[in-house]
Amino acid sequence: MYALFVILNQTEKLDEILENLYELDTGATTIDSVGMGKLLLEHNVNEGIFSSISKILNEGKPYNKTLVSVIREKEILDQAIDRIKGILNMDEKKGSGFMFVVPVLEIHGGLE
For 36-65, the pLDDT digits (tens) are: 666 565 555 545 545 554 554 555 555 789
Q: Does the domain made of 2-103 have the CATH classification 3.30.70.120? A: yes
Domain locations in the chain? 2-103
Identify the residue with better confidence: 83 or 91: 83
User: How much of the chain, in percent, has pLDDT values that exceed 90?
Assistant: 54
**pLDDT score, position 54:** 55
CA-wise closest residue to 37 among 102, 95, 76, 101: 95
> What is the C-alpha separation between 43 and 49, in angstroms, rounded?
14
- Tell me the pLDDT tens digit for each residue of 61-77: 557 899 999 999 999 99
> What is the C-alpha separation between 95 and 73, in angstroms, rounded?
28
pTM of the model: 0.78
